[in-house]
Structure 1
């Protein structure tokens, strides 16, 4: 009798271990999705019309949004304090952006060397912009800073934790 219960007991223990492992895996997946949603609540932007959309602030007070550069998925960080779009080096390499002439950039962290580049197309929600200049800069970030050379084509209205972005037409 004792010999027959050992295999049953062993199978029971294995089943409990599998149940606990599956439970931990599901909890990890759930909380990972929750954190991702808090960092970028605009994975699917809220489109109001063909020329207007709304972004939600993330938990840090920033406006991040998923979009595309040259038809590749990226994450944008809206930065009204940036003159140009700034692409981190690793992201630029992944997007195979052309590396142009070097230039010295003044950032919050001090002077850094960046490189000129060109973006053929940028898509954000219902908007697509073409032929934008940008800079490639050393950064550990995965977000592309969406600077004023792109944002000046829009009217930005912030109310509470939302920003309404409306296309105001091509550059004058």
Structure 2
């Protein structure tokens, strides 16, 4: 009888070790490929700082796999992810993120979005930064429903203060 109990215990131990091994392998592969997946969505998480001898600040962004320009930046010193949108009048911020940053809601108005009209609030951002480029006093809109809870549409209220040049899958932004 004791031989049968030992075999059963060994089988359970072996099965547990095999499951544990698979779980460990899947966890390691997830860690390994997570960075690659993030770079496919946001290839501009580490923006190179370029300032020439005349003081012109420049940022060069690469398109992601979907053909969009996504980049890491800051609003009022808080890290955010921007999706550049030349069709957006203002910088558009999801309500959840606006609350986390501590933005004050101004007057309410109706925004026309790709998904229809939505109630929004005006606000002004103290500082918006993208690499070495910073703009103060940027007009923005807080929208209750927007893409995700952490992605900001970087609209023309910021971009109009820059020179934009698109060439060969990259976008150069210059601040004079």
Superposition TM-score tier, normalisation by shorter sequence:
0.7 to 0.9
Residue aligning to 2:43:
41
Q: Provide the aligned C-alpha RMSD in A.
A: 1.9
Residue aligning to 1:31:
33
Q: Deviations over 1:77-107 (max 9, x none)?
A: 1111112111111111111110111012222
SS of 1:45's partner is coil
Contact 2:93 2:146 (8 Å CA) reproduced? no
**2:158 counterpart of 1:156:** no
The correspondence for 1:113, drawn from 119, 127, 131, is 119
The correspondence for 1:18, drawn from 9, 17, 20, is 20
The correspondence for 1:167, drawn from 149, 172, 175, is 175
The correspondence for 1:143, drawn from 146, 151, 168, is 151
The gaps in structure 1 that reach 5 residues or longer are none
Per-residue deviation, 1:165: 1.2
Q: Deviations over 1:131-156 (max 9, x none)?
A: 11211113242311111111112111
The gaps in structure 2 that reach 5 residues or longer are none
**2:84 counterpart of 1:78:** yes
Matched residues, number: 168
Once residues 10 and 116 of structure 2 are traced to their aligned partners in structure 1, the CA distance between those partners, rounded to angstroms, is: 66
Of stretches 138-147 and 70-79 in structure 1, the one that deviates more from structure 2 is 138-147
**2:69 counterpart of 1:63:** yes
Q: TM-score, normalised by structure 1?
A: 0.87
Once residues 143 and 99 of structure 2 are traced to their aligned partners in structure 1, the CA distance between those partners, rounded to angstroms, is: 11
Residue aligning to 2:140:
134
Contact 1:70 1:120 (8 Å CA) reproduced? yes
Of stretches 11-20 and 96-105 in structure 1, the one that deviates more from structure 2 is 11-20
